[in-house]
C-alpha cells in the first residue's frame, strides 16, 4: 500500500481523532484518494457522471424578480436544486462512489439525517450495483418516512439507530462503528465536510465544482466593456457545511470576494434550541475531527435543533472553523421563522421552492440585499429544492 498523504490545510482544525481500530482503514482511504485526486482518468470519469447523469453544469440564474423585490444588490442563484435527486449532495456521492469502485469496495455505508444524503448515496449505489446500508436515527426514520421508502425503493437497507438521541449525530457514530467492524470490504460515504481527515478535504474537493462553475458563469454573465466585473458577495447555508465550502473554496484566494455562511438559529441563538455551532459552540472533538461543537458545560455533545433537518447537526466542518477564526468568512444565523418567510418569498417571487436549508441563505440575503447598492452582486447557493419540505412547512403555516 502506498503511503501517500494529503496535506491538511486548516490546522489546528480537522485531524484524525479516531480509535486505533480505524487508523489503517483511514490510511488506506487517504492513500487511495491521494492517488486518484489528480488522476485525469478519475476526473474524466467523474465529469462524465456529473454531466450525463446529474445534469451539470447547473445554471447560475439571475434572480431578477427577487433582486427587484429586495431593491438592492443583483442576486444570482447557483441552482444546485436542479441536480439529479434535487440537491448538491450527489456531487459528493458520485465522487466517493467512483473512489470506492477503484478501491474495490463492494459494501457502501452512509449516515443520513433527513434522508437527502441517504437518498443520494442509495442512488449512486443503485447506479453502480453496490450494496448500500444507510444508518438513520430512529426519530428521523419516523419523521422522514417517505425518504426511508425512497431509499428502499433504490435498493438500500435503512438501519434505524436507537442509541443516544436517535438523530443524525448518532447515525454518524453508528456508521463509523460499522466501518470499524468491516474494515476490508466497506467504504463509508460521509455526507458532509466533517469526520476525520481526509474526509473534510475530499468532500470539499468534490463539492468545489459548485464554486468553479459559478466563478466562470459569473465572469461570463458580468462581462462588460467597462472592465472586470465587481467582486460578488457569496452566501450559503452551513450545517456540516458542504455546499458552502463548495461555493466558497474556488473564490478563497480573491480577497475582494466577501463570503457569508448562514447557520440555523432554530428558535433563537439565545435559546437552547438551535444548531449554530460556529456562532454559539465551543472548540471540541466529534466524529474524528477538531472543530466547533455544541456541548454542555461538562463537554457532552448537545442535540441540535433546526426546522431544517439538513442543518440539524451539533458540529460543523473543520475548514469552516478555520475560516471563522481567521476572519475570511463571516458566519451569521437565521431563525426557523425567518427561514419560513424566505421559503415563501422565493416561491412567490421566482417560482422556485427552495429546500428549508437553502431558505436560510435566502433569508440572510433578504436581510442584507436591500442595504446594498444596485451595482453590488451576490451569489447564493440554492443547495436543494424544497419539495421534500412542503408537507413539513404546511404544518407551520396552517
Residues lying near another protein in the complex (CB under 8 A): 12, 15-21, 23-25, 163-165, 169-170, 173, 176-177, 180-183, 282-288, 290, 293, 295, 298-301
From the CB of 8, what's the least distance to another protein, in Å? 11
Handedness of CA 13, 15, 17, 18 (dihedral sign): positive
**Distance in Å from the first CA to the final CA of the chain:** 58
91 versus 192: smaller Cβ distance to another protein:
192
271 to 219, 267, 335: CA distances (angstroms) = 42, 7, 11
75 to 64, 237, 284, 377, 378: CA distances (angstroms) = 7, 16, 36, 6, 5
From the CB of 112, what's the least distance to another protein, in Å? 17
Q: Phi/psi of residue 52, each to 5°? A: -80, -30
286 versus 365: smaller Cβ distance to another protein:
286
46 versus 133: smaller Cβ distance to another protein:
133
22 versus 237: smaller Cβ distance to another protein:
22
From the CB of 202, what's the least distance to another protein, in Å? 19
Q: Which helix (H) or strand (E) segment is 131 a member of?
A: strand 131-137
Q: What angle do CA 83, 89, 91 make, to 5 degrees?
A: 70
From the CB of 301, what's the least distance to another protein, in Å? 4
Q: How far apart are CA 157 and CA 131, in angstroms?
A: 8
From the CB of 318, what's the least distance to another protein, in Å? 13
Q: How far apart are CA 179 and CA 220, in angstroms?
A: 45
Q: How far apart are CA 52 and CA 313, in angstroms?
A: 32
Q: Which residues are annotated as catalytic?
A: 89, 111, 383
Using N-to-C axis directions, what is the helix angle for 40-52 and 89-102, rounded to 10°?
140
25 versus 123: smaller Cβ distance to another protein:
25
Q: DSSP label at 38? A: T
Q: How far apart are CA 226 and CA 247, in angstroms?
A: 26
Amino acid at each position: 500500500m502506498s503511503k501517500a498523504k494529503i496535506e491538511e490545510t486548516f490546522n489546528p482544525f480537522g485531524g484524525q481523532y479516531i480509535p486505533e481500530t480505524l487508523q489503517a482503514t483511514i490510511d488506506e482511504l487517504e492513500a487511495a484518494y491521494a492517488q486518484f485526486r489528480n488522476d485525469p482518468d478519475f476526473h474524466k470519469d467523474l465529469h462524465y457522471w456529473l454531466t450525463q447523469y446529474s445534469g451539470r453544469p447547473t445554471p447560475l440564474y439571475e434572480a431578477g424578480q427577487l433582486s427587484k423585490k429586495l431593491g438592492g444588490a443583483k442576486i444570482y442563484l447557483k441552482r444546485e436544486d436542479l441536480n439529479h435527486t434535487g440537491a448538491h449532495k450527489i456531487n459528493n456521492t458520485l465522487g466517493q462512489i467512483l473512489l470506492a469502485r477503484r478501491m474495490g469496495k463492494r459494501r457502501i455505508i452512509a449516515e443520513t439525517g433527513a434522508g437527502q444524503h441517504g437518498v443520494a448515496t442509495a442512488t449512486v449505489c443503485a447506479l453502480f450495483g453496490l450494496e448500500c446500508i444507510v444508518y438513520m436515527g430512529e426519530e428521523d426514520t419516523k419523521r422522514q418516512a417517505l425518504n426511508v421508502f425512497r431509499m428502499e425503493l433504490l435498493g438500500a437497507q435503512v438501519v434505524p439507530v436507537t442509541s443516544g438521541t436517535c438523530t443524525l449525530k448518532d447515525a454518524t457514530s453508528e456508521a463509523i462503528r460499522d466501518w470499524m467492524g468491516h474494515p476490508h470490504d466497506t467504504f463509508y460515504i460521509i455526507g458532509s465536510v466533517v469526520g476525520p481527515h481526509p474526509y473534510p478535504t475530499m468532500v470539499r474537493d468534490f463539492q468545489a465544482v459548485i464554486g468553479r462553475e459559478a466563478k466562470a458563469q459569473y465572469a461570463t454573465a458580468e462581462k462588460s466593456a467597462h472592465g472586470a466585473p465587481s467582486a460578488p458577495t457569496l452566501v450559503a447555508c452551513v450545517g456540516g457545511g458542504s455546499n458552502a465550502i463548495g461555493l466558497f473554496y474556488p473564490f478563497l484566494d480573491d480577497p475582494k470576494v466577501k463570503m457569508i455562511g448562514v447557520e440555523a438559529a432554530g428558535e433563537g441563538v439565545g435559546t437552547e434550541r438551535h444548531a449554530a455551532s460556529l456562532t454559539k459552540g465551543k472548540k471540541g472533538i466529534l466524529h474524528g475531527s477538531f472543530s466547533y461543537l455544541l456541548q454542555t458545560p461538562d463537554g457532552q455533545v448537545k442535540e441540535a435543533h433546526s426546522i431544517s433537518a439538513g442543518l440539524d447537526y451539533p458540529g460543523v466542518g473543520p475548514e469552516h472553523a478555520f475560516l471563522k477564526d481567521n476572519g475570511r468568512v463571516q458566519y451569521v444565523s437565521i431563525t426557523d421563522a425567518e427561514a419560513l418567510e424566505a421559503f415563501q418569498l422565493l416561491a412567490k417571487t421566482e417560482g422556485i421552492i427552495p429546500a428549508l436549508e437553502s431558505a436560510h441563505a435566502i433569508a440572510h440575503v433578504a436581510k442584507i440585499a436591500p442595504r446594498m447598492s444596485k451595482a453590488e452582486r451576490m451569489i447564493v447557493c440554492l443547495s436543494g429544492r424544497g419539495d421534500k419540505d412542503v408537507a413539513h412547512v404546511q404544518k407551520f403555516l396552517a
